[in-house]
Structure 1
Amino acid sequence: MPGSATPDVVVVGAGMVGAACAEALSAAGVRVLVIDRDGPAAGTTASGEGNVLVSDKEPGPELELAIASRAEWDVVLSRLPERVADVEWETKGGVVVATTDPEPLRAFAAKQRAAGVDARVITPAEAFELEPLLTPRVTVGVHYPDDAQVQPVLAATALLAAVRDRGGEVRSGVAARAVRRSAQGRVVGVETDDGVIACGAVLNACGPWAGSFSADAGAPIQVLPRRGMILVTAPLPECVRHKVYDADYVGAVGSGDAELQTSTVVESTRSGTVLIGSSRERIGFDDSVRVKVLRELAAKTVGLFPFLGDVPVMRAYGGFRPYAPDHLPVIGPDPRTPGLWHATGHEGAGIGLAPSTGRLITELFLGLAPHVDPDPFRVDRPAVLAS
C-alpha cells in the first residue's frame, strides 16, 4: 500500500486479534493500516500464555470457532515470511485431570467428542505416562492432542510483518479518538491524536479497551476488562510435557462471576520456564499485584504438581482480557454505523481464536461465504449492545 493511498481498513489495535485480522485482510488484497497507541503486542497479547485450545470450551458457537481456528492456524503459519516464521508453535497437546469425582470430566469429554473434538479419556496410569510428575491423587484424565501453544508476542509481530510485506502499514504510538462520518453516517476516517486518517472502514480490535473506543466511536458495545495473573518459574529441565490443567478450569472459563476465581493451568515454554495460572477477576483496570491471587495459584499448582513446591518463582505478571457478558466474541460489522467493525470480546481465548476471527472478518468484509456461522458473534445481540 503506497504511503499516499487511502487504506480500505484501519485496524485499531495491534494485538493478536488485530494483527490476525490485518493479516487475513491483506492476504485477500485489502489495503490495511494498523494503528496502536502503544505498539505491536504491547497490551493483552504480551500478558497471555499463548493458548490455542479446543479442550476448555463447552459445545456451542465458541467451540465451533475454536475448532475452525485450530485448523486455520496451519494456514496462517504457512503464510508467514520465512524470516519471522519461528513463533514457537508447539503442537504439544493438552491433558485435563480430575482429582475428585471423575464423572463430570468424563461427561464433559463425551459432549465435546459429540461436537467433533478429539477428547480421549485416559486412566490415572495413562495420565502418569503422559505427565510422570502429576499428583497421585488423579482420578481420571482427558488427553486433547489438538491443543497447541504459541509465543503470542512473536506470533502477533510476525503477522504484522506479513502485513507490511504486502504493502500494508503499522503505526505505533497513534491513539484512535473517534471515527469520522459522512453526511449519510458512513465511516470515512478515524480521528487520532496524530490527525485524521481517511479510510473506507475502521475495525475496533482494542481488546479490553474496545468498549471505551466503541463509545468514542458513537456505537457503544459491552466489553469489560477481566484481569488474569500468571506465575513464571526459573528455567527447569523438561518436566511438564503438555498443557496441563485441572477440571475446574472449564468452569472458570465459562463463569461470569466478578469475584476472584482460580484454577490450575501449568505448561512449559521453550526457554524452560513453567507458566502457572490461571486467575479471573473483574476489578476494572486495577493493575496492582494482589498477593492473595498469587498465593492461591501457587497452592493449587502444588496440589497438581507437587514437585513445583520446591521450585523458585522468577516473576509474576498480569493482564486484562476483553470480556463480553455472554462469553462470546464480538465479530462483524456494526449495523448502527456503516463502515465500523468490531473484533473483540475473546477474553482469554484470543490467541487461539485469532486466525478464524481474521478469516471471518475478511469473509464478511468481502461478501464471501463465511467458514463459520457469524450470527452468534454479531454486534447487535442484546448482551453486547450498550445503551
Structure 2
Amino acid sequence: MPKRHSLDAVIIGAGVVGAACAYYAARSGLSVAVVDRGPVAGGTTGAGEGNLLVSDKEAGPELDLALLSTRLWRELSDALPPDIEYEPKGGLVVAPDETTLKALRAFAEGQRAAGVTAAEITPDGLPALEPHLATGQAGGFLYEQDAQVQPAKAAARLLAAARVPVHLGEEVTEILRDAAGAIRGVRTPRRELLAPAVVNAAGTWGGEVARLAGTHLPVLPRRGFVLVTEPLPRVVRHKVYAADYIADVASGSASLQSSAVVEGTPAGPVLIGATRERVGFDRTLSREALRRLAAQAAALFPVLADVDVIRTYHGFRPYLPDHLPAIGADPRVPGLHHACGHEGAGIGLAPATGALIAAGLAGAEPPLDAHPFRPDRDFGTHEGATP
C-alpha cells in the first residue's frame, strides 16, 4: 500500500530551482516535500558552471528577476555554509572592436536604468583587471554584481536548510487530480504525496511533467559543453566573456553556437563554456564544440593555449522559445505551479523564482511582477517552438 502524506505542496525536482522553491516555501510556513527521480542536482544544476549573471540580460523581466536574485544570493551566502563557494567576483565583457563596443555601450545604458552597475573599461584599464587577457581589445564593461556559486552544493544546502522531506530516486508516474481537474498530489512507485498544489521544477523535463498534469509547456533541451583545465594559479580573476555570448544567449537557433566564457575557481581549475545547440537529449561528445571552446578561450587568454584540459562535461538547459522561464500558477490546471524553462540562467535566477513560487503558494504579495512569466502565455512562433 503506498504511503500517504498530507502537505501544502509537492515540488517535483531537486535541482537548485526546486531547492529554492522548497527553501522559500518552508520559510513562509508551508509544509512541502520534494521528489526527484534522480539525486540532488542530478540534471541541469549538476552540469552548470554556477553563473549568477546580470551582465548578459537586457533590460526587462528577466533582468528584474536576476537583480532580485542577486540580492537574495547575497543573503543566502550568509545563511548557508561557505562550501557553496559564493564568490562575488564580478563579470567582464570585452569587445574586440569599436562597433561591438558601441553596441555594448547601448546595451549597458538600458541595464543601468534598471539598476545594474556597469562601468565602461578603456583598453588601457583592462590589464589591471585581467593581466593575462589578450591585447588589442577595444574595451569592455565591468559588472560588479556578477557572481559565482558551486551549484550542486548550493542545491544541497538549500534543501538541508529547508528541512523538508526529500524523496530521491522516485519518478513521479502520475499527477493526481480530482473530478473537477484540480491537483490533489502525485504518485511515485513508492508513495502517494497528497497536496492541493504541485510545483513543476523538473528542468528540461518540465514539458513532460506538464503533460502528466494534462497541460502543455514547450520546454526543450539545449545542450552545452564545459571544459575544465588543470589547477592553476588565479590567472582569470573575473568571469570573462566576449560580447558575442550575449547574442548566443538570446538566439533561438538550433545549430551549434559557441562563445567562450572563462573563469577561475577557488579550487584552481579554469572553467570554459559555453556552447548551445538543440539536439534533443543526445549525449554524444561533440569534438567540434570542444575545439571551438578551446580556441575561443585561448584567443581571450593566450596563457591557456598550453594548459591541459583534464575533463569535460555537458548538460541540457531547459529552453523555452521566448527565452523567459515559466513561473507561477497555471490557470489551466488548478493547483499546478511551474518553475522551469530558465535555460542557462536557472542557478542565478533560482532564489527569485523560489520567492515567487512561495508567495503564490501562500497567497502572499509577490516580490516582483510575475505576469511576464505566466505559464499560459503565448510563446509565439519563435524558431524552436517545436522539436
The TM-score normalised by the length of structure 2 is 0.95
Following TM superposition, by how much is the alpha carbon of 1:196 offset from its aligned partner in structure 2, in angstroms? Answer: 2.4
The answer as to whether partners of 2:260 and 2:293 remain within 8 angstroms in 1 is yes
Secondary structure in structure 1 of the residue aligned to 2:173: strand
User: What percentage of residue pairs aligned between the two structures are identical?
Assistant: 53
Shift of 1:78: 3.7
Q: Which residue identity is paired with 1:307?
A: V
Structure 1, 168-177 or 3-12: larger mean CA deviation: 3-12
1:4 Cα deviation after fit: 6.9
Query: Aligned partners of 1:307 and 1:376: how far apart in 2?
Result: 43
Cα deviation for residue 189 of structure 1 reads 1.4
1:176 match: secondary structure? coil
C-alpha deviations, 1:162-196, integer Å up to 9, x for none?
122xxx10111010122111112211110222232
What is the root-mean-square deviation in Å for CA atoms of aligned residues?
Answer: 1.6
Could you list the runs of 5+ residues in structure 1 that have no partner in the other structure?
none
* Distance in 2 of aligned mates of 1:169 and 1:7: 10
Q: Does the 8 Å CA contact 2:4/2:194 hold for their aligned counterparts?
A: no
The amino acid of 1:95's aligned partner reads: L
Number of residue equivalences: 379
* Matches of 2:4 and 2:171, distance apart in 1: 20
**Where does residue 145 of structure 2 map in the other structure?**
146
Does 2:15 match 1:19? no
Cα-to-partner distance string for 1:20-53 (whole Å, 9 max, x where unaligned): 0011001111111101101101111110000001
Superposed displacement of residue 319, structure 1 = 0.2
Residue in 2 aligned with 1:317? 313
Q: CA shift at 1:74, angstroms?
A: 2.2
From the superposition, tell whether residues 22 and 315 of structure 1 become closer, same or farther in structure 2 (CA, over 3 Å). same
Structure 2 CA distance, aligned partners of 1:384 and 1:200?
31
Whole-Å separation in 2 of the counterparts to 1:77 and 1:363: 22
Q: Is 1:114 matched up with 2:110?
A: no
Judge conservation of contact 1:20–1:358 (CA < 8 Å) in 2: yes
What's 1:105 paired with? 104
Q: Which residue of the other structure, out of 341, 364, 371, is the alignment partner of 2:367? A: 371
The 5 A counterparts of 1:84-233 are 84-101=81-98, 102-164=101-163, 168-233=164-229
User: Gaps spanning 5+ residues in structure 2: where?
Assistant: none
**SS of aligned partner of 1:289:** coil
Partner SS state of residue 262, structure 1: strand
Find out whether 1:236 has 2:232 as its counterpart. Answer: yes
Question: C-alpha distance in 1, partners of 2:42/2:288?
Answer: 26
1:79: Cα distance to partner?
Answer: 3.6
Are residue 75 (structure 1) and residue 75 (structure 2) matched?
yes
* CA offset digits 1:263-320 (Å, max 9, x no partner): 0100011110000011000110001100000001111111111110010000111000
CA contact (8 A) 1:219 1:336 kept: yes
Structure 1 residue identity aligned to 2:184 = V
Higher alpha-carbon deviation: 295-304 or 97-106: 97-106
Q: Which residue of 1 aligns with 2:10?
A: 10
Deviation at 1:85, TM superposition (A): 4.2
Partner amino acid for 1:105? L
Corresponding residue of 2:40? 40
Match of 1:64 in 2: 64
Q: What do the CA deviations read for 1:251-273 (whole angstroms, capped 9, x no partner)?
A: 01111111111001000111100
CA drift at 1:100: 2.0
TM-score between both structures, scaled by the size of structure 1: 0.95
Q: Which amino acid aligns with 2:143?
A: Y
Supply the distance in 2 between the matched residues of 1:37 and 1:86 (Cα, whole angstroms): 25
- Greater shift in the superposed pair: 256-265 or 71-80: 71-80
Moved more, 51-60 or 99-108: 99-108
2:254 aligned with 1:265:
no
Match for 2:60: what amino acid? G
Tell me, in whole angstroms, the C-alpha distance in 1 between the residues paired with 2:152 and 2:118. Answer: 29
Give the drift of 1:132: 0.4
Conserved 8 A contact 2:50-2:348: yes
- Aligned residue for 2:54, secondary structure, equals coil
Residue pair 1:22, 1:358 contacting (<8 A) in 2 also: yes
Paired with 1:195 and 1:367, the residues of 2 have a C-alpha distance of 28
Answer yes or no: is the 8 Å Cα contact 1:33–1:170 preserved in 2: yes
Match of 2:72, as an amino acid?
A: E
Q: Which letter does structure 2 place at the counterpart of 1:150?
A: V
Structure 2: distance between partners of 1:5 and 1:38? 21
Q: Distance in 2 between matches of 1:337 and 1:289?
A: 39
